[in-house]
Every structure is written in structure tokens, then in C-alpha cells.
Structure 1
Amino acid sequence: MILAIDPGNIESGIVLLDNNLKPIEYGKWNNENVRQELRRNIFKYGYSLHIAIEMIASYGMAVGQSVFETCIWIGRFKEMAEQYNINVTYIYRKDEKMNLCNSMKAKDSNIVQALIDRFAPNTPNKGKGTKKEPGWFYGFKKDIWQAYAVGVTYYDMYLKGDGVNDD
């Protein structure tokens, strides 16, 4: 299981992926609720849980206070996991872009399309399906897509080839 987080200064996107990279739980919650969800999953899955968090990187541009507040939350999420001896791996945005799109120029829309092409090709409604017939990405929104991209990139960089999901 991979728990992937797209952190924010107030709310964060979070996705729990099974061994086939199917999103089984997801949402965007305030950060205190994300910490509770993190703790719940640590207790439920223990050492078999992999935690991946998108990390902030400097590209030389000035940033606002919200970026620094996001960094604090990243540290709080990591600290909580490490209290239970669960490692956290940081995934940088550049790694997501290169892994999923093979281009540093990729935008959010390119990443979303790459995920659709990989996991729900030739399906209507961006692979979301309907309430009656939910698709692979049913219920996904902006930050949830980005959290999922973190989890898939973590899998591709660190687990692929280890027998977890070798398609």
C-alpha cells in the first residue's frame, strides 16, 4: 500500500493506492484530518505501508508565506510517520513530470492526461465514470490527482521491479 500526499498549507490531497495502484481511499482534507488519516493507515497497514509526500523545491523564484507553512506541514506529516518507525519518501514535482510526461515543461493538465492514458485509456469523463458505474478516477479533483501522481511516481521510482505490480 502507498499513502501519497500532496501537501498544502491548510488542506492536503491524499490517496491510498493498493498494490495494483488502484486508488482505494482519497480526499482533500484539512491537515489535522490528514494527520489522523495518516495515523489510521499506519495502524492498519504497519510496515507494509509506503508513505510518499510531494516535497517543495526551490527554483530561484520568491515564494509566499503559504509555501513555508506547507513545509511545516510536510515536516509534521513526516514526524508522525517516523514516530511509528515508518519511513517517508519525498517526491519532487520534477520527478513526477519526468516520470509521467517525460518533460519538465509538463503542467497539471499533462500529468492528469498521462495518468488517464495509463490507467483509464479510452474511457469517457477522464476515467471518472458515473455514480452508478464509478471509474478508476471516480471522485478525483485537482489535489487528489496530484496526490495520485505522487503515489504513482513513488511506485515507478522505488517499487517497480520488486514484485509489487510488475505489469
Structure 2
Amino acid sequence: GRMSILAIDPGNIESAFVVVTDDLSSVIDKGKLPNADLERYIECAPIRPWYRNDPVKHIAMEMVACYGMPVGAEVFETCVQIGRFEYIIEEYRKYATYQRIYRMEEKTAICHNCRARDSNIRQALIDRFGAVGTKKNPGYFYGFKKDIWAAMAVAVTYHDKYLTDRE
């Protein structure tokens, strides 16, 4: 069977996630959930229907980095949440690798430009994987919302840096 990547874009109240095949050929699951619900989702991933066919072999999460700028309370709350997720992910370490991914890595991996913005990343992903599509004709990214794009950027960066030998 195939293996999958679970990628998380953490937030202070809600977090987004994607589960994609480790060759990035398809999106298995995606969403944005209140943090407590995503904690349960991670804990219970092995009993979800897709897990039998595409067990999670890799987990990646965006990590907050310090750029020396003053930050608000939500950034600190996000850091606390990252710690909570990592505590739960620890249970998987027997089966899955875990990697923190920094925003700067995403920009360089996906756009080859450290000044890229969210819109540039989104466009680069569409250029690579195809259009979003419509309800009648859904594309690779059909149903993606803002934070889910961010989780996808984490998955793609993880794939490109750690699962391929791309230069």
C-alpha cells in the first residue's frame, strides 16, 4: 500500500491539516478544526478508514520562527499548541518520522524565493499540481481554503526536502 504525509498548519484556536500520499499524487483528507478536535484527529488517525490503505509514515508541522519582531499573544498561544500537537505526535515516533518545517523553508522550496507571499505559494502549487476546479469538475485542490493551502505548503516542502533527492 501507499504511505501518506500528515501536514499541519497550527494556529492558536484552529489548525489546518492535509493528508496526502507520500508521492503527492493525491489528497486523501484535509480540513480545519478547532485544536482540541485536531488533537483527537491525530490520536485517532489509525482508526480512520483511509489509514488502512494509506498509513501515515510522515508527519510535518509548520514551526513558528523568531524574526526579531514583536509578536502578539496569538503567536505564543500557537507555540503552546505546537507543543500539545508534538506531545501527541510523540506516540507515533515508532511508525512515523516527524519534522518541523519553517515558513522560510516553504518559500524557498516552493517558490525558490525567500520573499514569496501566500499568494505566490498558492500559485506555485497550482502551477505544479493543477487547477482547483469546480464542483462538477474538481481539480487537485478542490475545496481548499486559506489555511489548508498553508498545510499543503508544509506537506510539499517536507516531500521535496526529505523524500526526494531533488537539488
Is TM-score (shorter-chain normalized) higher than 0.5? Answer: yes
Residue 20 of structure 1 deviates from its aligned partner by: 3.0
CA deviation after TM superposition for structure 1 residue 130, in Å: 1.4
Q: Which ranges in structure 1 are unaligned for 5 or more consecutive residues? A: 121-126
- Runs of 4+ residues deviating >4 angstroms: 45-48
Q: How many residues align?
A: 156
- Return the alpha-carbon distance in structure 1 between the equivalents of residues 46 and 18 of structure 2: 14
- In structure 2, what is the Cα distance between the partners aligned to 1:24 and 1:32? 21
Asked if 1:100 is matched to 2:103, the reply is: no
Q: Residues of 2 paired with 1:101 and 1:160: CA distance?
A: 17
Task: Please tell me whether the aligned partners of residues 17 and 151 of structure 1 are also in contact (alpha carbons under 8 angstroms).
Answer: yes
1:116-159 C-alpha deviation (Å, 9 max, x unpaired): 01111xxxxxx121112211000001100000000000000111
TM-score, with length taken from structure 2:
0.87
Is the 2:8–2:17 contact (alpha carbons within 8 Å) kept by the matching residues of 1?
yes
Greater mean alpha carbon deviation, residues 142-151 or residues 28-37? 28-37
Please, which runs of 5 or more residues in structure 2 have no aligned partner? none
Q: Distance in 2 between matches of 1:42 and 1:148?
A: 21
CA RMSD of aligned residues (A): 1.8
**Aligned amino acid, residue 123 of structure 2:** Q
Aligned equivalent of 1:4: 7
- For the pair 1:131 / 2:139, whether they are aligned, the reply is no
Aligned to 1:118: 128
Checking the alignment, whether the CA contact within 8 Å between 2:22 and 2:159 is kept in structure 1 is no
1:159 — aligned with what? 163
Deviations 1:76-128 (A, max 9, x none): 111101123344210000000000111111000000001001111xxxxxx12
Q: Percent identity, please.
A: 52
**Is 1:90–2:100 an aligned residue pair?**
yes
> What residue number does 2:30 align with?
26
Q: In the TM superposition, what is the alpha-carbon distance from 1:47 to its structure 2 partner?
A: 7.4
* Alpha-carbon distance in structure 1 between the residues aligned to 2:151 and 2:80: 18
